[in-house]
Amino acid sequence: MIPLEVGERAIGIAREAAYAESENSGYVLPKDLGGEFSVNSGAFVTVSEFPSRRLRACIGYPEPIMPLGESVMMSARGAVHDPRFPKLTREEAEACTFEVTVLTKPEPLEYTDVPDLMSRIVIGRDGLIVEYGPYRALFLPQVPVEQGWGVEEYISELCYKAGMRPDAWRNNRLTFETFRGEIFSEIEPRGKVERRE
């Protein structure tokens, strides 16, 4: 389990990197980063409007291809340019809450049929990646909880996000991967950081 202090520092890195990117200026990671920040980890940065909690940006790296500090920094920089939204300004970022999700390495989800697939996914624990030919999408573990989805809707919405028909998973042999996440979230902009379950 990642200590809360690491989550708090990750949020600080995400904020500062997003501020710098929104102003087209550079950001350099602190030199004293070590411990968990030096271990290769996937990470996502989610930016939400406050107090509505409406999504403003969410970008990240699911694979552990770089140290956590760099993964958080790069995710925050990417969140400023989330293609689903206009570019995030510094003023907007200052009024939003930031959340960092540190991911475990995605693992293949082996299943025999539709009922078996559904039985292997636990809402709130499992993040999901789906892939089928050129189609690919990811949902963080907190998404189905926030949306109030059951397993069936979770898989269907993931397929839809990937550009497939929502029921594609019922009739095709899709590739799924699961991962878990440790979630650190601000209660209010620049406020206290808590670990979300």
Instruction: Give the per-residue pLDDT at 109.
Output: 98
* 111-131 pLDDT tens trace: 999 999 999 999 999 999 999
Average pLDDT, rounded, for the chain: 97
pLDDT confidence tier of residue 149, bands split at 50, 70 and 90: very high
Q: What is the mean pLDDT of residues 127-147?
A: 97
4-104+181-196 folds as: Glycoprotein, Type 4 Pilin (3.30.700)
Domain 107-179 annotated CATH 3.30.1490.150: yes
Kindly report, as residue ranges, where domains of CATH 3.30.1490.150 are found in the chain. Answer: 107-179
Instruction: Give the per-residue pLDDT at 172.
Output: 81
- Whether the predicted pLDDT of 171 surpasses 90: no
* 3-55 pLDDT tens trace: 999 999 999 999 999 999 999 998 999 988 989 999 999 999 999 999 999 99
- Residue-wise DSSP of the chain: ---HHHHHHHHHHHHHHHHHHHTT------TT--GGGGSB-EEEEEEEETTT--EEEEEEE-S--SBHHHHHHHHHHHHHT-TTSPPPPHHHHHTEEEEEEEEPPPEE---SSHHHHHHH--TTT-EEEEEETTEEEEE-THHHHHHT--HHHHHHHHHHHTTS-TTHHHHS--EEEEE-EEEEEESSTT--EEEE-
Kindly report, as residue ranges, where domains of CATH 3.30.700.20 are found in the chain. Answer: 4-104+181-196
* Least confident range of 30-39, 79-88, 121-130, 156-165: 30-39
Instruction: Give the per-residue pLDDT at 197.
Output: 79
Q: Which residue has the tokens 């979630």?
A: 183
- Whether the predicted pLDDT of 137 surpasses 90: yes
* Calpha distance 76→104 (Å, rounded): 19
